[in-house]
């Protein structure tokens, strides 16, 4: 993992060319077992698909023994322009709240017995203001991606990715506009909470960023470098590292989806090991998911971030795997199957 630390984008591209695929035999075995369990065929709906997807990526009968939520926290130069309803100090304060156990993500992790790791990404060194300059250099961006890969260190068997960063919905909106087309106004939403005037200001600033970097946005990694942020780059690295180790991933809301979209633009199959935990209430999230043909597990009107939507979906994944592993077969339970 450390061998690519700080190396430039070509090394990331090389990694993408060597991504492993799913284990089709393990998926076949899981599907076969599914048919023998004491339930009408298909009656567990999407839970059956999830168990088979877990088997395909884990390459065995699926288990969830070491699920982890990784929260990447970063600060953004563009936040100084007032793109968020909250002050930049909230990012650091929430990181301390995570450590103290006082945030929503702490409670959801406790509920579903998920590990929690918080990565503080140089909060006192915000990335460049994207409306005036690139967010960071190629070296810094690639090093941050490599740092994000460290979230695989404890060998999780299910990885949820979340983020914390005041201003990052503006940055994510800029990334979506660059990757999927359209103007800033098409992708900008209320974030932590804006009134109509605040929303208009935010869209104008994101549009300034898109205009400034226009002509340099055909390469998705350059989109990340110019318009991204540290938590987004780290999330890209984490998704990619999980793929190399065949660890299934659950993506959280609007901002982590922007990280996923960078990989999708490089190679649509790069997200085959990912589930999208929920559709956030942030305007534009549903459209971004649709552009990638992704169907989220939950729709709860949440727009918090922190990995909360992914962590709730991890509870469902755990239930899907528990049913798959623990249910009796028709033969074992002496229940008559249909003809
Ligand atoms: O995940 C989402 O869909 C989501 C939607 C709106 C806000 N957030 C969280 O709120 C912060 C970004 O909002 P803002 O208004 O500061 O850009 C950041 O810490 C995110 O975790 C997250
Ligand atoms: C309080 C607060 C908590 C958060 N958690 C994720 N983003 C957040 C933004 C704010 C403002």
Q: Is the CB of 168 under 6 A from ligand 1?
A: yes
The helix-helix angle for 230-244 and 254-266 (nearest 10°) equals 60
pLDDT digits (tens, 9 = 90+) for 80-106: 999 999 999 999 999 999 999 999 999
Residue 7's pLDDT is 55
Per DSSP, helices labelled H in 44-195 are: 46-58, 89-100, 104-112, 138-148, 168-180, 184-187
pTM, entire model: 0.97
pLDDT tier at 8 (50, 70, 90 boundaries)? confident
| Core vs surface per residue 298-336: b (16+ CB within 10 A) or e | beeebbbbbbbbbbbbbbbbbbbbebbeebeeeeeeeee
As a whole number, the mean pLDDT across the chain is 96
Question: Cα of 165 to ligand 1 centre, how many Å?
Answer: 7
Average pLDDT of span 269-297: 98
193 burial level (CB within 10 Å; 0-12, 13-18, 19+): exposed
Active site residue 306: yes
Q: Is the CB of 58 under 6 A from ligand 1?
A: no
Give the residue with greater pLDDT, 338 vs 120.
120
Residue 194's pLDDT is 82
Ligand at shortest distance from the CA of 280: 1
Average pLDDT of span 215-232: 98
| Beta-bridge partner residues of 117 | 70
Q: Is the CB of 228 under 6 A from ligand 1?
A: no
CA angle at residue 251 from 245 to 252, to 5 degrees? 150
Which residue in the list 52, 150, 222, 306 is annotated as catalytic?
306
Select 2-7+60-322's CATH number: 3.40.50.10210, 2.30.30.830, 3.40.50.720, 3.40.50.10320: 3.40.50.10210
Ligand 1 atom index nearest CA of 172:
17
Q: Which residues line ligand 2 (CB under 6 A)?
A: 86, 90, 94, 164, 192, 304-306
CA-closest candidate to residue 229, choices 328, 100, 134: 134
CA dist 124 and 11 (Å) reads 28
Question: Cα of 273 to ligand 1 centre, how many Å?
Answer: 24
Question: Cα of 91 to ligand 2 centre, how many Å?
Answer: 7
Q: Is the pLDDT of residue 1 over 70?
A: no
CA dist 8 and 172 (Å) reads 22
pLDDT tier at 6 (50, 70, 90 boundaries)? very low
The least confident of 2-6, 14-18, 56-60, 153-157 is 2-6
Average pLDDT of span 244-261: 98
Residue 3's pLDDT is 43
Question: Cα of 21 to ligand 1 centre, how many Å?
Answer: 32
Average pLDDT of span 45-52: 98
Kindly report the protein residue whose alpha carbon is nearest to atom 3 of ligand 2: 94
DSSP for 253-298, written as a single string: SHHHHHHHHHHHHH-GGGGTTEEE-B--SSTTHHHHHHHTT---SB
Residues in the chain: 339
- Joined together, the tokens standing for residue 278 give 């929920």
Residue 253's pLDDT is 98
Residue 6 Ramachandran class (φ > 0 left, ψ -120 to 50 alpha, else beta): left
- Joined together, the tokens standing for residue 56 give 């395909």
Q: Is the CB of 72 under 6 A from ligand 1?
A: no
Q: Is the CB of 166 under 6 A from ligand 1?
A: yes
Query: The tokens 């690639």 sit on which residue?
Result: 142
Domain residue ranges in the chain: 2-7+60-322
Q: Is the pLDDT of residue 256 over 80?
A: yes
Residue 143's pLDDT is 94
- Joined together, the tokens standing for residue 224 give 């990340």
Q: Is the pLDDT of residue 200 over 70?
A: yes
C-alpha distances (whole Å) from 233 to each of 72, 146, 329 are 9, 9, 45
Average pLDDT of span 75-84: 98
Ligand at shortest distance from the CA of 193: 1
CA-closest candidate to residue 157, choices 241, 220, 64: 64
Question: Cα of 59 to ligand 2 centre, how many Å?
Answer: 37
How high is the ipTM of this complex?
0.99
Ligand at shortest distance from the CA of 167: 1
Q: Is the pLDDT of residue 2 over 70?
A: no
Q: Is the pLDDT of residue 118 over 60?
A: yes
């Amino acid at each position: 993992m450390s061998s690519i630390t700080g190396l430039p984008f070509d090394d990331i591209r090389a990694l993408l060319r060597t991504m492993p695929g799913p284990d089709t035999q393990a998926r076949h075995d899981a599907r076969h077992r599914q048919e023998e369990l004491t339930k009408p065929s298909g009656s567990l709906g999407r839970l059956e698909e999830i168990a088979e997807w877990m088997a395909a990526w884990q390459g065995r009968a699926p288990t969830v023994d070491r699920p982890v939520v990784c929260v990447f926290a970063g600060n953004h130069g563009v936040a100084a322009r007032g793109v968020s309803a909250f002050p930049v100090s909230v990012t650091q304060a929430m990181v301390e709240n995570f450590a103290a156990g006082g945030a929503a993500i702490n409670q959801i992790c406790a509920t579903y017995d998920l590990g929690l790791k918080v990565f503080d990404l140089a909060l006192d060194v915000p990335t460049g203001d994207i409306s005036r300059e690139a967010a960071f250099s190629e070296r810094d961006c690639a090093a941050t991606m490599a740092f994000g890969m460290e979230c695989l260190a404890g060998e999780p068997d299910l990885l949820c990715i979340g983020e914390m960063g005041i201003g990052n919905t503006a940055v994510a909106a800029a990334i979506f506009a660059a990757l999927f087309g359209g103007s800033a106004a098409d992708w900008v939403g209320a974030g932590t909470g804006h009134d109509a005037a605040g929303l208009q200001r935010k869209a104008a600033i994101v549009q300034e960023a898109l205009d400034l970097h226009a002509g340099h946005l055909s390469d998705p990694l350059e989109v990340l470098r110019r318009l991204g942020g540290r938590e987004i780059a780290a999330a890209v690295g984490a998704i990619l590292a999980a793929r190399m180790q065949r660890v299934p991933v659950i993506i959280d809301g609007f901002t982590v989806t922007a990280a996923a979209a960078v990989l999708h633009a490089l190679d649509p199959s790069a997200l085959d090991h990912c589930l999208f935990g929920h559709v956030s209430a942030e305007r534009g999230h549903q459209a971004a998911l649709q552009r990638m043909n992704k169907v989220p597990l939950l729709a709860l009107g949440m727009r918090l971030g922190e990995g909360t939507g992914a962590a709730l979906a991890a509870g469902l994944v755990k239930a899907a795997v528990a049913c798959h592993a623990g249910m009796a077969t028709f033969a074992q339970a002496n229940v008559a199957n249909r003809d």
